[in-house]
Structure 1
Amino acid sequence: MEFKKSLMALLIGSSVALAACGGGNDNADKGNNEDGGKETASAQGEQVYKQNCLSCHGENLEGQVGPALDKIGSKYSKDEILNIVKNGKGQMPPNIVQGADAEAVADWLATKK
């Protein structure tokens, strides 16, 4: 029974993640976004985190295998976080996320203070 619940949660979570990432023309809303795209970029950074970083750094940035990231923005700037994402640090391998995804997650994490 527990396995069925876990599998169902995984399937639902995957469906939600795919729905959040797919479809639509993101460029269509950029002209109407009064915050200059910050809210969209933040949502994208959080989504990238959930897809690529959560398993090591925890659902709530509390840390697990990797260190806690809940206050990482008070320790490192966006550029420093991006450098860690690109080059790795300690046990974290380099390039877990790349390109625009790396930029988005670094930007999002830099706000965590």
Structure 2
Amino acid sequence: MEEPTYDPSRPLATTTLVYQYKLVNCPGKSTVGLLVEYPPDGATPPHRHGGASVSAYVLKGSVLNKMNNDPMKVVEQGGSWYEAPGCHHRIGANASKTEPAAFFVNFVLDT
């Protein structure tokens, strides 16, 4: 599959805060959980999450994912990925133009 170029006219994902807790055994750190839902053909602009460690799990559909200069991957339902602090998330998009996709993401970040 060819790597797409980000197109700002594509629909954006919606995010819903699921939880946010301070990690009492890791002073100065918190964990945040989000539900991210892509409409058909949805995408997010290239971005970074600063000093956060990020892990994600695909709940529905398939998503396109490219970190730093690594090859793009298609992550299907039941698949997951990890983003190290400072990682450049170059491609984040729904792999389908006709079906929605969703994933759960957990951040560990400075409080």
Range class of TM-score, shorter chain = under 0.3
Higher Cα Rg, which structure: 1
1 or 2, which has the higher helix percentage?
A: 1
Higher RCO, Cα 8 Å, sep 6+: 2
TM score, norm. by length of structure 2: 0.23
TM score, norm. by length of structure 1: 0.22
